[in-house]
Structures are given as C-alpha cells and as structure tokens.
Amino acid sequence: MINLFRKIRKQLANENKFQKYFRYAFGEVALIMIGIFMALQLNNWNENKKQEAQFKVILEQLYNSITEDVIIFEKATDGLDIQIKYLDTIIKTVDSIPSPELPYYLYWFSLENQNDHHSEAIYHSKNLIYNPNNLRQNEITKQIINYTTRISTDIKSKSDPIYPKLQELGIAFPNSQWFQSDSTYYSKTDIKILHDLVRSHSFRSVLKTVQTGKSWIRATLYNRANDGRSILQLIKTYYPEVKISYQDVGIIGTSINGFDDVGAHSTPMSRTKYDDNIWEIYLPLKDGLVKFRCRDSWSQNWGGLTFPKGETEYDGSDIPVKAGNYHILLNLNDNTYEFIKQPE
C-alpha cells in the first residue's frame, strides 16, 4: 500500500501536477493520522478494559472483607447491648442478680468487645487502582479509603478499673466454664465481699463510668457497621455481579473427631454450586457438637442454635447434633444449614 502511494506521488510530480500532488499528499497524511488515532483509541479501550477488570477483582475482595467487618461490628454491638443492660441492673438493683453469678458478671464487664479486629479491607484498599478519568471509580475509591481510615482507629477503653479491683480483693478469675461452674468455685466470703463492693458509692461510680465507656464504644461500632453497609451497597451498585466467596469450608466438632483442644482438624466440604456458595458432605456423626469454618481456622466460622436445620450464626454457638449418617448442606448465601438423615 505504501509503495502504491509512492508511485502515485512520483507520477504526479513527474507530470508537474503539483496542486494535485500536495492535495494527495495531504490526504495521505490525514489517512495515516486517522489510522494512528484509531490505533491509540483501540489501545486505550483495551487498557481501560483491563483496568476495569482488575478494579472489579479488588472490589470483590473488599466486598468480602467489609461483609465480614459488618458481621463482627454487629456482633460486638449486640454483646455491648447485653453488657450495658446488666450493668444497669447491677447499678440499680444488685439483688436481682443471683449471688453465685455476680463475680462472673463483674469479670465479664472487664472484658473488651472489639476483640482486636483488624479488617482485611485496609490491606485490599491499598491495591485499589482507579482510572483518574472514571468519575464513578474515583468516588467509590474515595469512599472506601474514608471507611478504612475510620475503622483503623483504636476504640478500646484506655483502662479497665474493674479487673484490678477484683484482683486486689482476692476474687479469682472465673474458670473456663463461664456461668456454668461448680457453685463452690466462689466461697460465701467471696460473694459477701462482692455484694459489699457493688453497694459502695465509689464502686457504683466505677460501674457507671464503665457503662458510659461501653455505650460510647457501642455507638462507634454501630456507626462502623452502618458505614460498612453503605460501602457494600456502593460496591453492589457499581458491580451488580459481585459475590461473597468463601474458600476451604469444613466442619469440625465432637460429633466427628473433636475440636482443636484435642488436635482435630476440619473435615473438608465440597462446594457444589459456586455462585450460590453451597457446600455439601456425606458424613457419619456421633451425638455431640459441630461448627463450620474456613481454612481450618476460627477467623471465619458459623454455628447455630437448632438441629437438624436452621440459620447460621457467624461465630455463633456450637450446633447440637444427634448420631446418624447425614447429608450436610451449608448455604452461605442464604445463611442456612441442614442435616438430612440418610438410611442406615
């Protein structure tokens, strides 16, 4: 093609047709410029398409991480609601709390509810590279960075005034079976000391201060959960196909080989429907307890209150199981589970 253009230009020049020559040369240059422009546009389109695909990959990782954040913030908020309620009961009517349970409640109030949660969204947000010319990507990135900046701030209480006081009085920390211990674990002397303590004006002031601090933490966690839900909706609007994805889901418990305390590991389940996040397994079970979890770790786990089916509870109670051979179905989109008994 270029050789043909050269021959035409040479012929026009030899024939002294300079006007036609320049007009033709200009047209040739214009065609070349249009070709270059189209090539650049195609290259830009390809680059934008690649960037969009990568942007959505990170968005999906953020969607999964922020979903976990919201669940943890909500669970911590619920726990604080209960603590604040019982603090109010002890402050106003201490005698309404059964005496053997009083030391357990007081030590429970001394525990933090944030549990040192470090969101993976903070890490993933650093990999979120947006197109400066894409206004929607700009806005969603800005909102995500604002969210991760807010949740990275420590909101724990600066000090715990309850625990040191109980230790000073010689009240032992509860054993592992909270609220279910032998009634002789705390002596009558211990209980009397605690009743005298909670009736004192100075310690009631301490309890009120603790209650106020927990109310502040509760409000902060509540706001973080709302922030997270708004970011999830923002991501879903931009990327409607985004999905929650879980890896290496398994089942563990005393109904199988035990929990981690005896060195047991999760029994892997099979993901039979990827898009629906449905996991299944056929398994013989003993009378006992089970939970579901990811990657043989407790960082993501689900329990429940009912058998043979029910709603999953993130980081919830162990599921009570009756012996038998079961087809076990776990749906992590609908947050349900079912144990379908099989013929012997």
pLDDT in tens, 217-236: 999 999 999 999 999 999 99
Asked if residue 160 is part of any domain, the answer here is yes
The reported pLDDT for the residue numbered 45 is 53
Phi, psi of 256 (to 5 degrees): -115, -90
The reported pLDDT for the residue numbered 287 is 96
* 277 and 151 inside one domain: no
Q: Is 271 a residue whose pLDDT tops 70? A: yes
Degrees to nearest 5, angle at CA 26 with 24 and 28: 70
* 203 and 98 inside one domain: yes
* 271 and 184 inside one domain: no
* 102 and 156 inside one domain: yes
CA distance linking residue 286 with residue 323, whole number of Å: 4
Q: Is 21 a residue whose pLDDT tops 50? A: no
* 271 and 234 inside one domain: no
Degrees to nearest 5, angle at CA 162 with 161 and 165: 90
Q: What percent of the chain has pLDDT over 90?
A: 60
* 279 and 169 inside one domain: no
CA distance linking residue 220 with residue 281, whole number of Å: 40
* Structure tokens belonging to residue 31: 């065609």
State which H helix or E strand residue 72 sits in. Answer: helix 18-93
Asked if residue 167 is part of any domain, the answer here is yes
Last residue of a domain, one of 183, 203, 238: 238
The reported pLDDT for the residue numbered 294 is 93
Last residue of a domain, one of 238, 261, 291: 238
Asked if residue 31 is part of any domain, the answer here is no
Q: What percent of the chain has pLDDT over 70?
A: 82
**Segment 283-288 mean pLDDT:** 96
* 215 and 281 inside one domain: no
Number of domains the chain is built from: 2
Q: Is 277 a residue whose pLDDT tops 90? A: no
Q: Is 178 a residue whose pLDDT tops 70? A: no
48-52, 155-159, 281-285, 309-313: least confidently modelled range? 155-159
* 169 and 300 inside one domain: no
* 93 and 154 inside one domain: yes
The reported pLDDT for the residue numbered 28 is 59
Asked if residue 111 is part of any domain, the answer here is yes
User: What's the per-residue H, E or C state across 5-66?
Assistant: HHHHHHHHHHCCCHHHHHHHHHHHHHHHHHHHHHHHHHHHHHHHHHHHHHHHHHHHHHHHHH
In 3D space, the residue among 259, 89, 80 whose CA is nearest the CA of residue 156 turns out to be 80
* Band of pLDDT at residue 184, cut at 50, 70 and 90: confident
Range of the domain at 161: 51-238
Average pLDDT of every residue of the chain: 86
Q: Is 290 a residue whose pLDDT tops 90? A: yes
pTM to 2 decimal places: 0.76
- Return the higher-pLDDT residue of 129 and 159: 129
The reported pLDDT for the residue numbered 123 is 92
* 313 and 164 inside one domain: no
pLDDT in tens, 306-323: 999 999 998 889 999 999
Q: Is 96 a residue whose pLDDT tops 90? A: no
50 burial via Cβ count (<10 Å: 0-12, 13-18, 19+): exposed
Q: Is 78 a residue whose pLDDT tops 80? A: yes
pLDDT in tens, 24-39: 555 556 666 666 656 5
Last residue of a domain, one of 216, 238, 260: 238
* Band of pLDDT at residue 56, cut at 50, 70 and 90: very high
Asked if residue 27 is part of any domain, the answer here is no
In 3D space, the residue among 290, 295, 122, 91 whose CA is nearest the CA of residue 202 turns out to be 91
The reported pLDDT for the residue numbered 141 is 95
55-59, 149-153, 279-283: least confidently modelled range? 149-153
* 255 and 229 inside one domain: no
- Please name the residue that has the structure tokens 């990782």: 61
The reported pLDDT for the residue numbered 340 is 97
